[in-house]
Amino acid sequence: MINYIIRRLFIAMFTLVGITVVTFCITRLAPGDPAMAMTAGVQDPKASAAAYEQLRERWGLDKPIYMQYFSWVKGMAVLDFGESMSSDSRPVIDKIRPRLWPTMSLALLAIGLSLSLSIPIGIWSAAKQNSYFDTITSTVLYALYSVPSYVMAVPLILLLGVKWDILPFQGMMSDNYDTLSTMDQLIDIVKHYAMITFCFSYGAWAYYARFVRQNMLEVVRQDYIRTARAKGVQEFNIILKHAFRNTLIPIVTLLGLILPEIIGGSVILEVMFNWPGIGRLFFDSMMQRDYTTIMAISTSTAVLVLVGTLISDLSYVLVDPRVSYE
Amino acid sequence: MKNVYKILLVITLATVLFVNGCTKSESDKGVDGNIDTPVVYNPDNDPLVNPDSIFKKRPKGAISEETIFINLKSSPNTLCPLFSSTHYDSIVLDQIFESAFTIDKKMTWIYSENAIVSFNESEDHTAYIVKLRKGVTWHDGTPVTAHDMVFSYDVVLDERVPIVSFRDEVKNFTTCVAIDDYTVKYTSSGKIATTKVSLQSIPIIPKHLYEKEREAFPDLKTGTYYNTLARHPVGNGPYKIVEWIENDKIVLERYENFVGEKPYFKRVVYKIIQDLTVALLTFEKGELDVFEAIKPKQFAKETNSESFKNVGYKACGKEWTYDYIGWNQDGSNPFFNDKRVRYAMTHALNIDLVFDQVYYNLGTRCYGTYHPDSWMFNNNIKLLEHDLEKSKKLLDEALWLIDENDGWRYKMIDGHKVKFDFEIMIPQGSATAPQIAAIFQKTLKKLGVELKTRTFEWATFIEKMLKHEYMAQISAWGTGSDPDGGWNIWRTEQYKEGRNTGGYANARVDELFFQGRHEFSKLKRAEIYKEIQKILYDDQPYLWLRNRVNLSVVNKRISGISFSPRGIMTFYPSQRNWWIDTISH
């Protein structure tokens, strides 16, 4: 088992290096660079040419690409993400840090919501296959699934935010947050999370519910379930104690793959709800060709993907006694 | 569940959704609320546009404890005046820093009486003496002196500081010295007429704060100290910064020790909302007071609802900005270096249709580079009108002849048959360019010319423009406060160095720009630029589309708005004169 983990980590390192090299080169191959993005609007061409050269030198863009990559790797070795290649020049870590919590909390909440809704629905749909419940929930969930999140967001905001005025749709807290009592502050935060969490998560409900339902149906057809029924075990126990445990296997592997979503965020929703998350930072950095920020976010996402798949594979061992990595 | 019932359920649901989605909505009603009124929008018929109450002037000395909420479409990048580069930086910086020299709502150069007592220009234009007002302090209490101005000048010219926008303009001043604590003397060569205007470009920063870590970080940008200074600036203006919450809002509070005229609002909150639809909805909820630069479609169609009428008015003011289609006439394509073809294109575009359908009649016909309200406008220009017959004739003359077999136009060039098939480049995010291109495409097809469009994101669009890798492009220019700004758009040598991306070349225009830069008499300058405007319009290097208007929405309680050629915000005193008319309410 330890050998397996060491081997996987080794492979992961190589994969990570490959990912960073590709990302590094692709971003620099795209037309334009951060110096051009910053000097493009300038009226006087002589001034902008001088500024352009100065910025390129400052950010090391005039050096050959392999040298740039090595300086970046050197920085990464001490976890120095560098300075943002945009007009505020702040350290990248300062730009990313305040946005981690909004994105992560939103993603975790959304995933928690999706799973706690879809697993029971999936189980019940499988248990009562083709019943009213099964058909109606499937239809409703697929209808939701077919609506993109940004299309759903606008009428929601219009209805709940403007017309009926029951939920806020801007940012993480109200303008008068500081003046509220602790209880009210909590309620304020919950209200702000409400709409965006819904928009972020509902697409996954159909997917997870269907996933659970499918696996349950397969498990329920197994011989040992038939045996348990024949032995007189209660239906409730059969479903939850015997069948559900075996559907956990695919769900656990699914969880590992959800990990990268946590830091990815959703650009469109973050823009619409003015949510200070990483998705928007990533998008803006791409537009400005802010190479250092792009690399920092891409690398972190890549690390999470690799860690996620590793956890996923390892938990497979824990959950399924048939599997071992010896 | 029986299959029949399942199918019925699905059909019912589908029908309900269909019926709901396909009926006419609020925005399809005419401005008078009638669904049968023709839907062509005209701001002159809109009762919500430019009501008198929003322009009512603020009584002198009127002041309050109120807060005003203003929308910013994008977060400022920095609040250090040295490195500011975007419109949004300027909007906030204008409140925190008092510029000694600026422009008023007529785009006239003025000096601010909140900072300057007198300004003297020598007869030969070589020396400028500026006397500062005493008693002006930085937000930390330190007095603003001539030494701050001299320091600022030195810093701008210091090559180690990565200043993007205005270093070259400031080089017009050969020296800058402090004669005493409150007097500054600038000298210049005396030959360039726009030197005085360049004074606007020197920001004033606090010497005692900026020199602190200059040895360690000579670029005045890196390091925690300077980073903090850029995000929590110490200025000399009527507002000081309270907090800047990343991508959420910037809160300013009135500086009570400001010696000049204090603004009305005690607090200013700039909310940063990127999505325009959501910003408009926030406005309708009453949480925004002023929202500048909304899209024409929103102005015409999405601001007639009940919820809007309850809270807001619309403001529509002329701007010295024009939209245009630029032709690449450097010879890389066989079409647009021929003046007859360019004229044919202008005659081909149904400009009235574009105004009705794309611009919603928000804007005015464009007579070329300068705006009808400006001092350099030539009012002897006759507009080229939509005339398909003229286009046909001109294209025939230019030997682009229709091939009877497929209806397209071809020309024999070097023994090859070349089709009139061109591509127009559109910047991503343009609200109007794709629709204009669509209308143009239809008309050109009738003429036998094929038009294709390609959209590029902004950075790529700019790069292609600068590399001259295009045939035609749609964008816009603003006329700066001085027409000399056109130097790097129209002079021949600017093809290599500047913004003359289409390769326009006219020796007379080159000479006129040179004359204009060195002529000090305003009357003579006006004649020079009027001639430039006429020659440019005659040459049609651009298909001038429209003069833009500034479109804003304003909460009913706000007054004191004025228009300037740059909009409602970035001139002096603009935002500072906004107030709430409690007398009439």
Q: What CA–CA distance (Å, rounded) separates B83 from B164?
A: 7
How many CB atoms within 10 Å of residue A314? Answer: 17
The structural domains of chain A, with segments of one domain joined by +, span 92-151+193-319
Q: What residue of A is the nearest CA neighbor of B270?
A: A175
Q: Quick one: pLDDT at residue A257? A: 72
Q: Quick one: pLDDT at residue B161? A: 86
Q: Are strands B450-456 and B421-427 parallel, antiparallel or unpaired?
A: parallel
B460 to chain A, any CB pair closer than 8 A? The answer is: yes
pLDDT exceeds cutoff 50 at B42? yes
Q: Quick one: pLDDT at residue A32? A: 80
Please state the rounded mean pLDDT for residues B354-383. Answer: 92
Å from B497 to nearest chain A CA?
A: 6
Of B230, B281, B480, the CB nearest to A43: B480
Which helix (DSSP H) or strand (DSSP E) does residue B249 occupy?
A: strand B249-254
A274 and B221 within 8 Å at the Cβ level: the answer is no
pLDDT in tens, A184-222: 889 999 999 999 999 988 888 888 888 888 888 888 888
Contacts of B219 in chain A (CB under 8 A): 58
Of B13, B230, B282, the CB nearest to A170: B282
- Token pair, residue A78, equals 């001490």
B165 and A43 within 8 Å at the Cβ level: the answer is yes
Omega before B573 within 30 of 0, i.e. cis:
yes
A157 and B278 within 8 Å at the Cβ level: the answer is yes
B498 and A50 within 8 Å at the Cβ level: the answer is no
What proportion of chain B, given as a percentage, has pLDDT over 70? Answer: 95
A272 and B278 within 8 Å at the Cβ level: the answer is yes
Nearest Cα neighbor of B88 from B107, B101, B74, B98 is B74
A83 and B222 within 8 Å at the Cβ level: the answer is yes
pLDDT exceeds cutoff 60 at B26? no
pLDDT in tens, A5-20: 899 899 999 999 999 9
Nearest Cα neighbor of B54 from B312, B282, B326, B367 is B312
Q: What is residue A266's three-state secondary structure?
A: coil
pLDDT exceeds cutoff 50 at B30? no
Q: Give how far Cα B370 sits from Cα of A130, A136, B365, B532, Å.
A: 72, 64, 12, 10
B164 and A289 within 8 Å at the Cβ level: the answer is no
φ, ψ of residue B39 in degrees (nearest 5): -90, 10
Of A43, A54, A154, the CB nearest to B485: A43
Å from A195 to nearest chain B CA?
A: 14
Could you tell me how many CB contacts below 8 A there are between chain A and chain B? 135
Q: Tell me what the pLDDT averaged over chain B comes to.
A: 88
Asked if B240 and B139 count as a contact pair (C-beta separation under 8 A), the reply is yes
Secondary structure of B152-211 in HEC code, one letter for each residue: HHHHHHCCCCCCCCCHHHHCCEEEEEEEECCEEEEEECCCCCCHHHHHHHCCCCCHHHHC
pLDDT band of residue B34 (cuts 50, 70, 90) is very low
Of B163, B272, B281, the CB nearest to A51: B163
pLDDT band of residue A263 (cuts 50, 70, 90) is low
Q: Is B554 buried (19+), middle (13-18) or exposed (0-12) by CB count in 10 A? A: buried
Of A42, A135, A274, the CB nearest to B6: A135
pLDDT band of residue B2 (cuts 50, 70, 90) is low
Q: What CA–CA distance (Å, rounded) separates B144 from B236?
A: 8
CATH of domain A92-151+193-319: 1.10.3720.10
A170 and B166 within 8 Å at the Cβ level: the answer is no
- Token pair, residue A156, equals 């929601």
B285 to chain A, any CB pair closer than 8 A? The answer is: yes
Q: What is the DSSP string of B310-333?
A: HHEEEEEEEEEEEEEEEE--SSSS
A274 and B307 within 8 Å at the Cβ level: the answer is no
Q: Quick one: pLDDT at residue A43? A: 52
Asked if B486 and B513 count as a contact pair (C-beta separation under 8 A), the reply is yes
Cβ under 8 Å to A: B residues 309-338 = none
Of A132, A175, A287, the CB nearest to B458: A287
Nearest Cα neighbor of B323 from B193, B201, B476 is B476
Nearest Cα neighbor of B133 from B175, B206, B184 is B184
Q: What CA–CA distance (Å, rounded) separates B427 from B473?
A: 8
B75 CB-near residues (< 8 Å, 6+ apart): B88, B246, B247, B272
Q: Where are the beta strands (DSSP E) in chain A?
A: none
φ, ψ of residue B548 in degrees (nearest 5): -75, 165
pTM of the model: 0.82
Asked if A250 and A215 count as a contact pair (C-beta separation under 8 A), the reply is yes
A16 CB-near residues (< 8 Å, 6+ apart): A299, A302, A303, A306
Mutate to test the interface with B, among A61, A80, A89 (most CBs of B within 10 A): A89
Nearest Cα neighbor of B561 from B43, B31, B68, B41 is B68
